[in-house]
């Protein structure tokens, strides 16, 4: 197996052979990627690859792995650093979002491997599943029906008449059985079956085979037959919740093979806009809870206006909202976009600022923040790159209402909590500025 790794907005070209170093794929693989992108666009209304010059394909902001038979295409986020470190950071971001509790010892293991992001996530899944299984397989009371020689549970009169009218020695019984063969374990086993056809490293293949053996009393179900509502965790199986989330991610990544046309295809992709938002939100939740703030993601939902009939229109749903004492302390809206120091206002668009102004007024939030990823071309990191103070129709500044622009570095994820602390003071509001910069009318 060979892995062709590239970053967002880099190009794949078409050639005679598969060449990972020069990012070249064969003509049949090029066509397969085109088909995949077209199908993905129809299904999700987003573009994975765009056509570039000279038959090239340009990766967009979807990161992850696409199987091309024995070969793989790996798209990584445009984060500075060596590829191995970027993979490590991406794995940690995904782990935080899925609440996989990636501890320091696990981080070290990731650093020592040069596997694709898919192999890293498979390894983490197996490690976390082993931890759960060693504490005991989940057993639940499941309703069963069977023809028995002695009554167990209750008699099914309809089945008895239908099937056993000529068999008085048989009883159609309905009973509850405390069993490992339940929807949660069936979903986990289905994920292992999918991964057994995808994993390439010997370590992952061995772990998967051994885990499948642990689930030998569990029925094999096709991925589309999994009942996710029934597979959910409860108080007794809560430790399985993050593992089940990753299992579902793997199962839903199974797709028709874009090369062979079989059902063994696999494409695990993450929208960096959503991943960046969810990651910052998860860190903010943990960080500011210590200061008495309640952080919510994607809401609460409000509206900008109402029709004459009273119906609300133009929904507003901020990425991250922090409250303290029942009042909104600040709002963060993340943008997965590279700012450019030489551009006007560094590329912050009027649309984004108008959106933040709407949040500020409709949520009565004195401080709203646009948060972008930081990169070296922006120079040395500072807590705030810009502050725009909103003024009224008379030109007077509203000193209690501002729109701020900040960035966050993703090269060293361990520094992110400290960076967020520098942006915000402990009370959960922005640091007082030295001098306001008014918005030009």
By CB atoms closer than 10 A (0-12, 13-18, 19+), residue 343 is: exposed
> What integer pLDDT is reported at residue 255 of this predicted model?
62
Q: Are 2 and 20 in contact (CB under 8 A)?
A: yes
Looking at per-residue pLDDT, the higher value among 230 and 311 belongs to 311
* pTM recorded for the entire structure: 0.82
Q: Which two tokens stand for residue 19?
A: 């060449």
Identify the CA nearest to 192 among candidates 244, 131, 138, 116: 244
**What is the CA angle 260-41-11, rounded to 5?**
75
| Distance between CA atoms of residues 188 and 186, nearest Å | 5
Model confidence band, residue 405 (pLDDT cutoffs 50, 70, 90): very high
Encode pLDDT of 88-138 as tens digits.
999 999 989 888 765 444 454 555 457 889 999 999 999 999 999 998 888
| Distance between CA atoms of residues 121 and 195, nearest Å | 11
pLDDT above 80: residue 158: yes
Q: Are 284 and 417 in contact (CB under 8 A)?
A: no
| Distance between CA atoms of residues 427 and 359, nearest Å | 20
Looking at per-residue pLDDT, the higher value among 138 and 257 belongs to 138
Q: SS3 string of the chain?
A: CCEEEEECCCEEEEECCCECCCCEEEHHHHHHHHHHHHHHHHHHCCCCEEECCCCCEEECCEEEEEEECCEEEEEECCCCCCHHHHHHHHHHHHHHHCCCCCCHHHHHHHHCCCCCHHHHHHHHHHHHHHHHHHCCCCCEEEEEEEEECCCCCEECHHHHHHHCCCCCCCEEEEEEEEECCCHHHHHHHHHHHHHHCCCCCHHHHHHHHHHHHHCCCCCCCCHHHCCCCCCCCCHHHHHHHHHHHHHHHHHHCEECCCCCCCCCEEEEEEEHHHHHHHHHHHHHHHHHHCCCCEEEECCCCEEEEECCCCCEEEEECCCEEEEECCEEEEEEEECCCCCCCCCHHHHCCHHHHHHHHHHHHHCCCCEEEEEEECCHHHCCCCCCCEEEEEECCCCCEEEEEEEEEEEECCCCHHHHHHHHHHHECCCCCECCCCCCCECCC
DSSP-derived pairing of the beta strands 302-306 and 327-334: unpaired
Encode pLDDT of 202-213 as tens digits.
999 999 999 999
Give the residue-averaged pLDDT of 252-257. Answer: 70
> What integer pLDDT is reported at residue 90 of this predicted model?
93
Q: Where in the chain is the domain with CATH 3.40.1350?
A: 290-423
> What integer pLDDT is reported at residue 154 of this predicted model?
87
Q: Are 161 and 242 in contact (CB under 8 A)?
A: no
Q: Are 141 and 230 in contact (CB under 8 A)?
A: no
> What integer pLDDT is reported at residue 108 of this predicted model?
47
> What integer pLDDT is reported at residue 408 of this predicted model?
95
Range scoring the smallest mean pLDDT among 50-54, 149-153, 274-278:
149-153
Encode pLDDT of 38-86 as tens digits.
988 888 888 999 999 988 999 999 999 998 888 899 999 999 889 989 9
| Distance between CA atoms of residues 400 and 318, nearest Å | 20
Encode pLDDT of 287-345 as tens digits.
998 888 999 998 788 888 899 898 988 999 999 999 988 888 899 999 999 999 888 88
Encode pLDDT of 236-249 as tens digits.
778 888 899 899 99
Q: Which two tokens stand for residue 288?
A: 């500011």
Identify the CA nearest to 423 among candidates 433, 435, 436: 433
Looking at per-residue pLDDT, the higher value among 217 and 391 belongs to 217
> What integer pLDDT is reported at residue 104 of this predicted model?
46
Range scoring the smallest mean pLDDT among 99-113, 134-148, 171-185, 370-384:
99-113
Any idea which architecture 290-423 has in CATH? 3-Layer(aba) Sandwich (3.40)
Percentage of residues in the chain with pLDDT exceeding 70? 88
Q: Are 405 and 359 in contact (CB under 8 A)?
A: no
Q: What is the mean pLDDT of the chain?
A: 85
Looking at per-residue pLDDT, the higher value among 359 and 142 belongs to 359
> What integer pLDDT is reported at residue 257 of this predicted model?
55
């Amino acid at each position: 197996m060979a892995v062709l790794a590239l970053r967002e907005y880099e190009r794949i070209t078409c050639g005679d052979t598969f060449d990972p170093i020069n990012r070249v794929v064969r003509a049949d693989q090029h066509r397969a990627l085109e088909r995949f992108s077209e199908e993905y666009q129809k299904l999700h209304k987003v573009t994975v690859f765009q056509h570039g010059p000279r038959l090239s394909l340009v990766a967009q902001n979807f990161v992850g792995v696409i199987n091309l038979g024995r070969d793989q295409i790996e798209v990584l986020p445009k984060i500075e650093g060596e590829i191995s470190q970027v993979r490590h950071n991406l794995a940690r971001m995904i782990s935080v979002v899925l609440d996989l509790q990636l501890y320091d010892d696990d981080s070290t293991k990731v650093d020592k491997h040069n596997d694709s992001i898919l192999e890293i996530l498979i390894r983490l899944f197996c490690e976390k599943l082993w931890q759960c299984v060693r504490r005991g397989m989940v057993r639940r009371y499941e309703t069963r029906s069977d023809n028995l020689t002695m009554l167990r549970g209750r008699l099914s009169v309809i089945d008895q008449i239908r099937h056993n009218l000529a068999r008085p020695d048989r009883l159609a019984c309905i009973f509850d059985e405390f069993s490992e063969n339940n929807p949660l374990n069936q979903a986990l086993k289905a994920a292992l079956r999918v991964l057994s056809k995808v994993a390439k490293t010997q370590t992952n293949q061995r772990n998967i085979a051994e885990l499948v053996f642990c689930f030998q009393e569990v029925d094999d179900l096709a991925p589309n037959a999994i009942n996710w509502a029934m597979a959910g965790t409860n108080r007794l199986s809560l430790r399985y919740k993050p593992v089940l989330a990753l299992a579902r991610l793997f199962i839903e990544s199974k797709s028709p093979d874009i090369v062979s046309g079989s059902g063994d295809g696999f494409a695990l992709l993450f929208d960096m806009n959503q991943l960046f938002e969810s990651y910052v939100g998860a860190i903010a939740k943990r960080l500011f809870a210590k200061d008495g703030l309640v952080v919510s993601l994607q809401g609460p939902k409000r509206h900008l206006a109402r029709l004459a009939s009273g119906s609300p229109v133009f929904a507003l749903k901020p990425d991250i909202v922090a409250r303290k004492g029942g009042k909104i302390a600040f709002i963060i809206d993340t943008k997965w976009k590279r700012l450019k120091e030489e551009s006007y206002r560094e590329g912050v668009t009027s649309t984004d600022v108008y959106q933040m102004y709407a949040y500020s007024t409709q949520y009565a939030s004195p401080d709203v923040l646009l948060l972008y990823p930081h990169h070296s071309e922006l120079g040395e990191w500072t807590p705030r790159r810009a502050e725009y103070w909103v003024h009224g129709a008379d030109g007077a500044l509203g000193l209690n209402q501002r729109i701020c622009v900040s960035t966050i570095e993703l090269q060293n994820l361990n520094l992110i909590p400290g960076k967020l602390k520098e942006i915000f003071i402990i009370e959960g509001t922005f640091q007082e500025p030295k001098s306001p910069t008014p918005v030009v009318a």
